[in-house]
Amino acid sequence: MLKKVILVALFISMVNGMCLAEEAAAPVDKALETAVEETVDPVLDEGWDRGTGKVTPQMLERFDADKNGELSNAERETMKSTMRAERLAKFDADGDGKISEEEKRVAKDARKAAKEAAIKRFDSDGDGKLSDTERETMKAERKKDKAKNLEKFDTDKDGKLNDAEREAMKAERKSNKEKKGKLIEKFDSDGDGKLSDAERETMKTTREQNKAKRLEKFDTDKDGSLSDAEKASAKQQKQEKKQLKEQKQNREQKQNREQKQQRQQKQKGKNK
């Protein structure tokens, strides 16, 4: 009997000791957790640096400073810091040096939109995802796009795009996006934010009609196409027409301001 009592007492003592040990450890774990949270880079939180350490052919071409075909530790760190800084610059809309919850949402939406665009373009079997074959097709198309960009924007012909050439490419893409927006605004008759097949046909027909009008007006040698000189003449007339329109708008705005001032003066006179 005494032996059983001693065993029960030992067991209770062990249990209490384990509970005390857990309670003592808890503040340490919490402190460690807090310290980790405080040191998390807001740009990298929730995978914001995903892919910044991956050495793709594009990254190798861009950051292999000594051109030995591989990235040294220093070059790799330069790549990571540069890519993180670029992501921060892209999504840190308020310029506070970190990614807020709203900015995270915007970045997530951008990644989602890019993924959806890739699926829409390359998902040939329509299963909502990219198979290995479709991914290879996507890679091949991107290589073609890169070759086209190099041909168009690599002005110094060194086989890569420097900062100035990249800016020129971005500017043209922005311009094209704005033009696309104007086309959608003009031909999107159902207002769903995109062009249906019927709307595209309307746009195509309108363009052909405009082309025919341009040829009729500016094709002075009647060879069925516009020469450089004829294009320059058309461009000049377009600019002159635009200037006349702006001048008219300015005159109308001036007249409206003057009329408004006159009305205000008359009202003041009545109030007196």
CA 82 to chain centre: 17
- Residues spanned by the domain of 7: 1-35
In a domain, 6, yes or no: yes
- Higher-confidence position of 20 and 206: 206
In a domain, 26, yes or no: yes
In a domain, 170, yes or no: no
| Lowest-pLDDT range of 23-37, 58-72, 123-137, 148-162 | 23-37
- Mean of pLDDT values over 267-272: 74
Tokens of 86: 């670029």
Tokens of 141: 């198309």
**Which pLDDT score, from 0 to 100, does residue 76 have?**
87
**Which pLDDT score, from 0 to 100, does residue 53 have?**
64
Looking at the 3D structure of the chain, how many domains does it have? 1
Sole residue written with tokens 């808890």: 26
Provide DSSP, 167-215: HHHHHHHHHHHHHHHHHHHHH-TT-SSS--HHHHHHHHHHHHHHHHHHH
End-to-end CA distance of the chain: 113
- Higher-confidence position of 157 and 95: 157
- Mean of pLDDT values over 147-172: 89
Tens digit of each residue's pLDDT (9 = 90 or more) over 230-261 = 888 888 888 888 889 889 999 999 898 888 88
Q: What pTM was estimated for this model as a whole?
A: 0.46
| Lowest-pLDDT range of 97-106, 168-177, 189-198, 257-266 | 97-106
pLDDT exceeds 90 at position 205: yes
The string over 46-81, giving b where at least 16 C-beta atoms fall within 10 Å of a residue's C-beta and e elsewhere, is eebeeebeeeeeebeebbbeeeeeebeeebbeebbe
In a domain, 92, yes or no: no
Question: From CA 208, how far away is CA 146, in angstroms rounded?
Answer: 31
The per-residue pLDDT of the chain, averaged, comes to 78
In a domain, 10, yes or no: yes
**Which pLDDT score, from 0 to 100, does residue 57 have?**
77
- Mean of pLDDT values over 191-213: 89
- Mean of pLDDT values over 128-138: 89
- Higher-confidence position of 26 and 137: 137
Tokens of 145: 């796009």
**Which pLDDT score, from 0 to 100, does residue 35 have?**
32
Tens digit of each residue's pLDDT (9 = 90 or more) over 49-100 = 455 567 777 788 888 889 898 889 898 888 888 888 887 777 778 888 777 8
In a domain, 11, yes or no: yes
In a domain, 29, yes or no: yes
Contact indicator for 63, 18 with CB cutoff of 8 Å = no
- Higher-confidence position of 88 and 13: 88
In a domain, 31, yes or no: yes
